[in-house]
């Protein structure tokens, strides 16, 4: 096992565990009930996955799916749900979202003076850490929740970058996936913060749960890598069905369209439309992002129509020429099997030329 692969696998999962523990700590501090520390037991799943990955995959990833990302979602999403449902009433200062951390020099000096005589440097460090943690606890709950949302989405992208890739995905595909994740994370963060910050939404408990359910549903695209990978095509057969061939050729594009329509932009558009149509909630940003979702859904449907028409024209053209329509993502052996009989016939013709017929005797002879 390579040292760098092992290091990346362990460090990334350690970051996931630490971030999820911070989320559990915030829930316990907000709810003021120690029983919420039981949420930390979810990290045992991530530890188990780490051991299995190191044993069977030598630290490398899997094809099409990342168990570490999925288990990280399981560990952190319940904490974010509880924080959003609680939505603390702590005062955040004159400006909304203002972060005020006042760690005074007097507190540090007092902790240093109390530890200078007998306890030594170690006690001083512990006292300083306690003072810093106490000051962090004074930050209002809404700022903490927003910070956890932001770091959560950033850690998803960075973690996917640091996780060792499997043999099935290339560096080029990984770079494409990371760029898609950056845009996706920004849209998801905007959806959660923009809708849940509306005062009328906060008064409706069922609406909060619906928005969080859609937000959780949109997170399921992060463990999957199908948006940049073609599915494997089976051996070419004369009775190949058209839908299977279409899925084989455009699997990455079709998955990208499906994610946009059914996991992200489609559900986001439905939620925002309900807010404006049924609950009569209007503001400038809500209208803008609703229009943006409509535009994205329309363009994705247009892209799907273009792919279908182009594929239909290609199949029709090849059928008229009598050619075998093979998938470009098939292995070479599968494509060669479809046309190999023609090459074999040509080789046999060259290897065994036709026998010359005896010439008839001429009249002069």
Give the separation between CA 269 and CA 212, rounded to whole angstroms.
15
Same-domain status, 28 and 177:
yes
> Which residue, among 70, 63, 73, has the nearest Cα to 226 in the 3D structure?
63
Q: pLDDT tens, position by position, for the chain (365 residues)?
A: 588 888 989 999 999 999 999 999 999 988 889 999 999 999 999 999 999 988 888 888 787 888 999 999 999 999 999 999 887 554 455 444 444 444 444 454 554 554 454 455 667 777 777 776 666 666 778 888 999 999 999 999 999 999 887 666 778 888 888 999 999 999 999 999 999 988 889 888 999 999 999 999 999 999 987 766 666 555 444 445 667 777 777 888 888 899 999 999 999 999 999 999 999 998 999 999 999 999 999 999 999 999 999 888 888 887 777 655 555 444 434 444 444 444 444 444 444 454 445 555 544 43
Same-domain status, 186 and 303:
no
Q: Looking at the domain assignment, is residue 41 inside a domain?
A: yes
Give the domain extent around 209.
Answer: 1-89+138-226
**What is the number of structural domains in the chain?**
2
From residue 273, alpha-carbon distances to 188, 190, 359 in Å are 17, 16, 89
Q: Looking at the domain assignment, is residue 346 inside a domain?
A: no
- 303 Cβ neighbours under 8 A, 6+ residues apart: 253, 257
For 114, the enclosing helix (H) or strand (E) is helix 105-116
State CA 301 to chain mean position distance.
22
By the 8 A CB rule, do 263 and 220 touch? yes
> Which residue, among 209, 352, 197, has the nearest Cα to 283 in the 3D structure?
197
Same-domain status, 318 and 242:
yes
Same-domain status, 142 and 207:
yes
Question: Could you count the other beta carbons within 10 Å of the beta carbon of residue 135?
Answer: 15
From residue 23, alpha-carbon distances to 30, 123, 175 in Å are 11, 27, 29
Same-domain status, 45 and 165:
yes
Q: Looking at the domain assignment, is residue 107 inside a domain?
A: no
Same-domain status, 306 and 245:
yes
Q: Looking at the domain assignment, is residue 250 inside a domain?
A: yes
By the 8 A CB rule, do 335 and 326 touch? yes
């Amino acid at each position: 096992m390579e040292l760098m692969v092992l290091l990346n696998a362990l460090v990334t999962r350690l970051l996931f565990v630490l971030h999820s523990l911070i989320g559990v700590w915030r829930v316990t501090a907000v709810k003021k009930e120690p029983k919420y520390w039981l949420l930390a037991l979810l990290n045992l799943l991530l530890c188990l996955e780490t051991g299995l990955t190191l044993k069977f995959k030598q630290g490398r990833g899997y094809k099409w799916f990342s168990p570490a990302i999925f288990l990280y979602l399981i560990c952190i999403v319940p904490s974010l749900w509880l924080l959003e449902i609680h939505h603390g009433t702590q005062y955040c200062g004159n400006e909304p979202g203002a972060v005020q951390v006042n760690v005074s020099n007097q507190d540090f000096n007092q902790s240093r003076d109390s530890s200078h005589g007998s306890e030594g440097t170690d006690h001083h460090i512990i006292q300083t850490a306690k003072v810093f943690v106490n000051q962090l606890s004074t930050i209002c709950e809404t700022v903490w929740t927003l910070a956890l949302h932001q770091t959560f989405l950033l850690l998803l992208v960075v973690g996917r970058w640091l996780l060792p890739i499997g043999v099935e995905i290339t560096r080029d595909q990984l770079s494409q996936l990371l760029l898609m994740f950056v845009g996706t994370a920004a849209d998801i963060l905007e959806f959660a913060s923009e809708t849940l910050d509306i005062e009328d939404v906060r008064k409706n408990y069922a609406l909060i749960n619906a928005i969080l359910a859609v937000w959780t549903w949109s997170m399921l695209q992060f463990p999957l890598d199908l948006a940049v990978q073609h599915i494997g095509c089976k051996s070419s057969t004369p009775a190949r069905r058209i839908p299977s061939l279409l899925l084989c050729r455009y699997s990455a594009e079709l998955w990208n369209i499906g994610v946009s329509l059914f996991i992200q932009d489609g559900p986001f558009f439905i939620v925002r439309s309900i807010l404006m149509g049924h609950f009569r909630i209007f503001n400038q940003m809500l209208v803008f992002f609703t229009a943006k979702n409509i535009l994205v859904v329309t363009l994705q449907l247009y892209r799907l129509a273009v792919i279908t028409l182009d594929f239909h024209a290609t199949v029709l053209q090849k059928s008229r020429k009598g050619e075998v329509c093979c998938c470009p993502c098939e292995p070479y052996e599968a494509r060669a099997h479809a046309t190999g009989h023609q090459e074999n016939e040509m080789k046999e013709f060259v290897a065994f030329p036709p026998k010359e017929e005896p010439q008839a005797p001429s009249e002069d002879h």
